Amino acid sequence: MDDYDPNSMPAAKARQFIKQFLSPVMETEHLSIRESLGRVLAADILSPSNVPNYDNSAMDGYAFNADDINLEKSTVLKVIGTAFAGKAFDGEVKPGECVRIMTGGMMPRGTDTVIVQERVTLTGDQINFSEVPKRKMNVRYAGEDLQQGQMVLGAGHMIRAADLGLIASLGIGKVSVYRKLKVAFFSTGDELASVGETLNTGQVYDSNRYTLYGMLSRLGVEIIDLGAIADDAELLESTLLKAAEQADVVITSGGVSVGEADYMKLLLAKHGQVVFWKIAMKPGRPLAYGKVQGSKIKASHYFGLPGNPVAVMVTFYQFVREAMLMLMGQASPAPLPIFNVVCTENIKKQTGRTEYQRGILFNDTDGAWKVKPTGAQGSAILSSMSLANCFIVLNESIGNLEAGTIVQVQVLDGIV
């Protein structure tokens, strides 16, 4: 990178840098439709037939041939039978005749148009209507949704609820997807106690492994939790190597601050190729990315996240999430959407860095959606993440803002 400066790395540039090293998993699996939810397609899905498979009625009404419409006087047709969805009318409809038809019922031979039942008068076995419907009105044509052979979903697409139904609608029972990405992670720090242990003075409970567990679970990867590891060179080394042996991606939190005499840096120099950045952002200043070589042939991707709990979540959403999606097989994952909304409170902000302040999007009394900050914005205040439903993204050039200013927000709910 031309103007690569590890001490003031813009967030967008770091993201770009990471992208060039991300080659997706190659191994595939053949899974039943339901099992494929959240997986990434490894092969295109083509429509094996037309959808719908046959011409059918879009309404409850009467099927007839548009040639029978009487343009001068009202049209009178004889009802000769009924076509139900799933139970077709067998015969042929001749001039002057029609068939009562239900939604989804197959269009009988000799008909091409449906008039809805509310628009006709039924007397005995005859219908009468003065309206002049257009030919093909209220008919869903074979192949109207999908043509036989048409690409329905492309390789690289992540399967969501609608896709499960779409695949089922084609009669396809199994799909080819990439295998799950394996992600190993551990926390580092002498001060960390694990849930279940007594907290001594000077200790904090390890929360990063829990937020990471949550965020990774929502991405649908295979999780390997290697625990909270003290700042001990040997322990850290053996854990790092264990992680690299087992996983495609290794994530650590804590111990990557630039300038710190941390064991992690020495270890990563010994077992991999890792760059350390001070990202021009808050929270999430120190960040490391690279490859770690375990005993397996292929090196693992490595993300060294900051230790502060909010910084872990912010860097995960801003860097790790997208990288993971690419490694899972999505060629160009959709970026998290950003919206402009009015902020109802003053905001304190330093220029020269991107800030991801925690915000609450709310429906104001005037019916418009607006945002307000959650309160104190310290990188250690994890409750701010629990309160928040969005990030207020404030770019480098932005300084302090007055209430009423339009700001950018990135919605958090449902993003991974």
Residues of this chain that interact with ligand AMP (CB under 6 A) are: 187, 189, 191-192, 204, 206-208, 253-255, 257, 306-309
Least distance (Å) from ligand AMP to the CB of residue 312? 8
> Residue 171 burial by CB count (10 A; 0-12/13-18/19+): exposed, middle or buried?
exposed
Least distance (Å) from ligand AMP to the CB of residue 282? 14
Beta-sheet pairing, 151-153 with 281-282: unpaired
Closer to ligand AMP by CB, 257 or 354: give it. 257
Closer to Mg ion by CB, 189 or 373: give it. 189
CA distance 173 to 183: 29
Least distance (Å) from ligand AMP to the CB of residue 23? 29
In the list Mg ion, ligand AMP, none, the entry touching 230 (Cβ below 5 to 8 angstroms by class) is: none
H helices of 205-255, in order, are 208-219, 233-246
Closer to ligand AMP by CB, 59 or 311: give it. 311
Residues with Cβ within 8 Å of 380's Cβ and at least 6 positions away in sequence, in order, are 308, 309, 310
Least distance (Å) from ligand AMP to the CB of residue 180? 25
CA distance 258 to 107: 72
Amino acid, res. 55: D
What residues does 370 pair with on adjacent strands? Answer: 362
The reply to whether 286 sits near Mg ion by the rule CB under 5 A is no
Instruction: Give the three-class secondary structure for 290.
Output: strand
Residues with Cβ within 8 Å of 138's Cβ and at least 6 positions away in sequence, in order, are 57, 58, 59, 61, 113, 114, 115, 116
Would you give the DSSP letter of residue 317? I
Least distance (Å) from ligand AMP to the CB of residue 185? 10
Residues with Cβ within 8 Å of 100's Cβ and at least 6 positions away in sequence, in order, are 61, 62, 79, 81, 82, 83
Least distance (Å) from ligand AMP to the CB of residue 284? 11
The reply to whether 189 sits near Mg ion by the rule CB under 5 A is yes
CA distance 332 to 345: 36
In the list ligand AMP, Mg ion, none, the entry touching 139 (Cβ below 5 to 8 angstroms by class) is: none
- Give the residue closest to ligand AMP by C-beta: 307
The reply to whether 306 sits near Mg ion by the rule CB under 5 A is no
Closer to Mg ion by CB, 10 or 255: give it. 255
In the list Mg ion, ligand AMP, none, the entry touching 56 (Cβ below 5 to 8 angstroms by class) is: none
CA distance 72 to 141: 29
Which span sits near Mg ion by CB under 5 A: 73-81, 96-104, 183-191, 351-359?
Answer: 183-191
Least distance (Å) from ligand AMP to the CB of residue 385? 12
Which span sits near Mg ion by CB under 5 A: 10-18, 51-59, 300-308, 365-373?
Answer: 300-308
What residues does 178 pair with on adjacent strands? Answer: 28
In the list ligand AMP, Mg ion, none, the entry touching 207 (Cβ below 5 to 8 angstroms by class) is: ligand AMP
Closer to ligand AMP by CB, 110 or 189: give it. 189
Least distance (Å) from Mg ion to the CB of residue 285? 14
Which residues of the shown chain bind Mg ion in the complex (CB under 5 A)? 189, 254-255, 307
